[in-house]
Structure 1
């Protein structure tokens, strides 16, 4: 399946996109995480396209050169949610299915909580519901989420995080990618070894600390949530509590022995559950 490469311009910014599938198909938007790009979704784009969907993944704010404002405040959650709605509108979609991983998952939860009328379904990979995550972070659920998230305080430090990740031919970034396929790593490094792009991607952490996220209410959209047992960053407590914050039908899946990087390393399993979720939704 060929992946189409194009740009989408909306609200004064231009986003680089990957797309596949018939243009008249059911629109599925996919949001990548840090420190990745839309390249993470290539296998999922192909699977969705093969099943008649119009699948579109875009390099989000900061990752796309034409959508890289300088202000940290420009990376607050409301702007990231607004970008998704603007891209969907530019594609002519009143409603769509939404898939997000890592930071893309955070954006997806917030969009679903604020604009449930826009979504047919929600799929979040790795990232638990923000309320469950905050409870785990504050040790209300037990576990070690505060230790798992300790890295975020470093990423919030302007200049210091960039220096650390880019020093010695981007050794810090390369270490984050050590579990990923070489071709994915090469594509991510091509984007994020540029200091401007890296700063913009780190501004997600600087604009919204994990424990300072705006509130997200109960999710009223049919939801698939996929978590993996070998995730170093997101522990089981928040993952298993996420269903308490979804009032619509929800499917919870644990992938055994898989790391945090599910779209890159376990796409076949993810795609099986995602396609079942889309087929089962009548919303």
Structure 2
């Protein structure tokens, strides 16, 4: 049995953690996406604890106050993945990875970088990264991903997020399905806390993705959870994902759920995670 972890340091960046559940339980590392924080798992984590699992929800780089580096290159997805693997090392060298949105992309990459450290992978909303990128040119995914280019415009997203009830909040609520409570949490935990530039770093770091990651297969047991009212992710990218997984794989499709699975369908998210973790 190990002690509680409150932080993990890598490359002089310190990531804050929410370490909860039974200390002797199988460790599950929870990786949030944009524009959220570790608290996005607050409804899922207790359901995992009830099954004897220990959760470590990470405030990822750009979000933790002591892990907000400057420069786009610092936000390449492989850096997030290595951060996640540093958390795995700190908790004992092997863990289950669960990610939502950009946290899912992080988990996919981590599982290809050091598969021996990843017991299982559960990705919520976002398919395997190469399947996602290729779908831009074979489906409507490129059109649905217009915001990724917009978020790369210097200072524009920050300006749009400046006003409460402004364009950024209308996009998240009206366009992408966040509830008023979730939008308020975005303002409080991301905008007002100074984490927005770091969160946008995920998008601004895309050109610096390590190209050697392309073509790699995932070799750990994997579940992808996708919801049919996701305004950001098409079914084409989802259906292409099994081509990149050389391991037991399951697709779970949630009906009538938007992109924000951990907060809007926590029971379904927890069920998929528990089945993958305990059934593998």
TM-score by length of 2: 0.91
Task: Name which of 184, 187, 194 aligns with 1:186.
Answer: 184
Alignment of 1:241-280 (within 5 A): 241-280=240-279
**What is the DSSP-based 3-state SS (H/G/I as helix, E as strand, rest coil) of the residue aligned with 1:230?**
coil
Q: Does 1:146 align with 2:142?
A: yes
Work out the CA distance in 2 between the residues paired with 1:82 and 1:24: 24
Tell me the residue number matched to 1:225.
Answer: 224
1:174 positional shift:
2.3
How many aligned positions are there? 272
- For the residue of structure 2 that corresponds to 1:257, the secondary structure is coil
Gaps of 5+ in 1: none
Q: What whole-Å deviation, never above 9, does each CA across 1:15-53 have from its counterpart, x for those lacking one?
A: 222232111110000100000111111121111111111
The equivalent residue for 1:215 is 214
Residue 21 of structure 1 corresponds to 21
- Cα shift readout 1:87-118 (whole Å, capped 9, x = no counterpart): 22223x11000001110011111111111111
**Residues in 1 aligned to 2:114 and 2:229: alpha-carbon distance in whole angstroms:** 32
**Helix, strand or coil: the match of 1:227?**
strand
What's 1:159 paired with?
A: 155
Residue 36 of structure 2 is matched in structure 1 by: 36
Q: CA deviation at 1:134?
A: 1.5
User: In the alignment, which of 197, 200, 204 is matched to residue 199 of structure 1?
Assistant: 197
Give the 3 Å change call, closer, same or farther, for CA 258–113 of structure 1 in structure 2: same
Output the TM-score relative to the length of structure 1.
Answer: 0.90
Q: Using the alignment, how far apart are the partners of 2:215 and 2:14 within structure 1?
A: 28
Distance 2:209 2:14 in 1: 30
Residue 171 of structure 1: CA displacement? 2.1
Q: Give the secondary-structure state (helix, strand or coil) at the position aligned to 2:195.
A: helix
Counterpart of 1:172? 167
Corresponding position of 1:67: 67
Cα distance per residue 1:50-88 (max 9 Å; x no partner): 111111111100011111111221111221111111122
* 1:188-209 alpha-carbon deviations (Å, 9 max, x no partner): 3212213842111111111115
Distance 2:122 2:114 in 1: 15
Call closer, same or farther: CA 1:112–1:216 in 2, change over 3 Å.
Answer: farther
Where 1:225 maps in the other structure, the secondary structure is strand
List runs of 5+ in structure 2 lacking aligned partners: none
Q: Deviation at 1:169?
A: 2.0
Give the root-mean-square deviation of aligned CA atoms. 2.1
**What are the superposed Cα offsets for residues 115-134 of structure 1, whole Å, 9 maximum, x if unpaired?**
11111100001101112112
